[in-house]
Amino acid sequence: MDIKKLIPVLLVIILISCSVVLAEKFYDNTAYDWYFMPSKDNQPARTEPHYEKMLNDHGGYFIGNSDEKELYLTFDNGYENGYTTQILDVLKEKQVPAAFFVTGHYLETQAELIDRMVKEGHIVGNHSWHHPSLVEVDDATLKEELDSVKAKFTEMTGVEEMKYLRPPRGIFSERTLALSNELGYTNVFWSFAYMDWDVNNQKGAQYAYDNIMKRVHPGAIMLLHSISKDNAEALGRVIDELKSQGYVFKTLDDLVK
């Protein structure tokens, strides 16, 4: 057989093989802003079917089992406004677990609170170092954003595991879901939230209580911001009322099981 005639054939086979391997690593980077569609009468929230498919394909969550009265309490922490201590006090008193998603700024400025979260059994998750849109950074920068948080957290606490990611700003793409999942993270979005992050527009504990009770539902992954005075003041009452309605607060580890 003429080897020279085989060379073009072999090159085509090699190119096809390489393209298949490379295709597995290339994902669509269309940016999406996470949102959910709340339902009435405390029924489970919904989201776009293609959002849900992307989460299912890449091991992410936005809601738990909506057939069970289980709740997952999560807080996003970028900046401290003096209310996390109060929130931790309430969680300790009520024996409720939570997950706190933290940025690099929070790690650098709130070491005592991070230490307390760990010691009191809460999950500390990754919210990136600089809080960028992960869709807009390249793969190496995305990895560095997440690795930096995990490395600093381990240095501070001795805890080597950091398993959960809340994408900054709620912006994501199939690429960011896939790459972060390959790095060992479970993306955690939410099926409950309200406008609680504006520190200049706090309206009181009753406002927070009413908004939470209106939208809470079985299986809810609840997003709250501990920067909110309203949340801190309403949290104890919220927990007591939800428990009286038969809700049980679970951890994200329970969710992914």
Q: What share of the chain in percent tops pLDDT 70?
A: 90
When comparing pLDDT for 6 and 101, which is higher?
101
pLDDT in tens, 159-200: 999 999 999 999 999 999 999 999 999 999 999 998 887 777
Domain range list for the chain: 32-256
Residue 240 designated active-site: no
190: alpha, beta or left, given left = phi > 0 and alpha = psi -120 to 50?
beta
How far is residue 116's CA from residue 52's CA, in Å, rounded to a whole number? 34
Q: What is the pTM of this model?
A: 0.89
Give the chain's mean pLDDT: 91
pLDDT in tens, 72-119: 999 999 889 899 999 999 999 999 999 999 999 999 999 999 999 999
Topology of the domain covering 32-256: TIM Barrel (3.20.20)
Task: Report, in angstroms and rounded to the nearest whole number, the Rg of the chain calculated over CA atoms.
Answer: 21
pLDDT for 234 beyond 90: yes
| Nearest alpha carbon to residue 216 among 63, 76, 42 | 42
Residue 2 designated active-site: no
Among the listed residues 58, 127, 217, 225, the single catalytic one is 225
pLDDT in tens, 33-68: 999 999 889 999 999 999 999 999 999 999 999 999
Q: Dmax over Cα atoms in the chain, in whole Å?
A: 85
pLDDT for 22 beyond 60: no
Strand 32-33 and strand 171-172: the pairing is antiparallel
Among the listed residues 76, 127, 196, 217, the single catalytic one is 76
How far is residue 28's CA from residue 203's CA, in Å, rounded to a whole number? 41
